[in-house]
Amino acid sequence: MSTLSYVDESADSPWSTYLAQVDRVVPYLGPLARWAETLKHCKRALIVDVPIELDDGSVAHYEGFRVQHNLSRGPGKGGVRYHPAVTLDEVMALAAWMSVKNAAVNLPYGGAKGGIRVDPKTLSIKELERLTRRYTSEIGIIIGPQQDIPAPDVNTNAQVMAWMMDTYSMNVGATATGVVTGKPIHLGGSLGRVKATGRGVFVTGREAARRINLELQGARVAVQGFGNVGSSAAELFHGAGAKIVAAQDHTGTIVNPRGLDLATLMPHVRDSGGVAGFAGAERADDESFWDVDCDILIPAALEGQITAARARRTKAKLVLEGANGPTLPAADDVLGDRGILVVPDVICNAGGVTVSYFEWVQDFSSFFWTEDEINLRLDKIMVGALRRIWDTADQHKISLRTATFAVACERILMARQERGLYP
């Protein structure tokens, strides 16, 4: 366990969860285990003060972070989130998971992540723009198209990325579209990017369902987090014949055993800001979400949601981690003991960063692909990566999570070993 004073030492903290996952993979690293301690340290962590003038003329200060976990395989890559619960511990873990995720799908990136501790709903659009531009200027010393490429995450979107790209470009004196991904299409963004993470959840879920002989037609799906990832995955599963029987977000929990009508739910969420109040379902207690009769559970909200107690209660046969770090290590063990298959975040939700890679490549060449080409390339990469991981899991008789870490960490540490230490 880390002894760094600024890291949350509690067993359920995101960084502690990540460290426990690393410990489980070390026995499968062979001679590369010599370098395993590399995985337990972040290369660089930047904490910045983000002062802005509010619309009423007062000045407010917010704390921002940008962490680069490992850059052995390429520039840092990872999103930026705006959330009142953002901490350095969380951002460190998210950056580390990005290192593993990028290596798991064999993208030429290291792992990075950023965030500001703020509730963006309390800010006007102009205040949000000032916050974004000041934060970008503060972290500008470590980001760049060949250094570290931010992207959208919780409570950030294409508009925030446009402000970040413009601010960085103004500071370096040239338009640099490749400094961020997830941008608007007309500013160098990629088709297919918005729904890419949810599509990756669906593609890996479809492959996993085949492995356990779970028919998607009529399968019952419960989705926690009905933002970009959860709603996109829900739409794709619904299109494959599954029934979305429960949805939960920050506004509440809704349940309909016959299946939610997504054609009316999606506009409701867009208009009202959440699933609460949807006429086509019953309101339920938030904790009862974990007792819903379902075949597939998709945690697509924040980390640390599936505790050991909740893992004992779920009726799902398959868990697809749309969020980063949603399952605590103790809960992982419970799910494994119960024979419930977990497709881990570091492969399950890698669709977003994969299409971000496509966007980055397209920006460098100024040549853009069609959405069909994007989706075909994404599906091929995701399916190939999952099959490689599944072969590793079968070979060592280990969970998909440990197998994903084994494949990814071998790639990271091989790069570390071959590059050597400088000086």
Q: What is d(CA 54, CA 134) in angstroms, rounded to the nearest whole number?
A: 13
Q: What is d(CA 96, CA 346) in angstroms, rounded to the nearest whole number?
A: 10
- Establish whether 113 is a catalytic residue: yes
Cα–Cα distances (Å) from 402 to 80, 352, 378, in that order, read 26, 21, 23
Residue type, position 90, single letter: E
Burial classification of residue 116, based on how many CB atoms lie within 10 Å of its CB (0-12 exposed, 13-18 middle, 19 or more buried):
buried
Q: What is d(CA 90, CA 109) in angstroms, rounded to the nearest whole number?
A: 20
Q: Which of 101, 113, 183, 317 is catalytic?
A: 113
Q: Is residue 60 within a helix (H) or strand (E), and if so which, with residue range?
A: strand 59-70
CB 44 within 8 A of CB 76: no
Q: What is d(CA 285, CA 264) in angstroms, rounded to the nearest whole number?
A: 22
Q: Is residue 248 within a helix (H) or strand (E), and if so which, with residue range?
A: strand 243-249
Count of CB atoms situated within 10 Å of the CB of 342:
25
CB 304 within 8 A of CB 325: yes
Provide the annotated active-site residues. Answer: 113
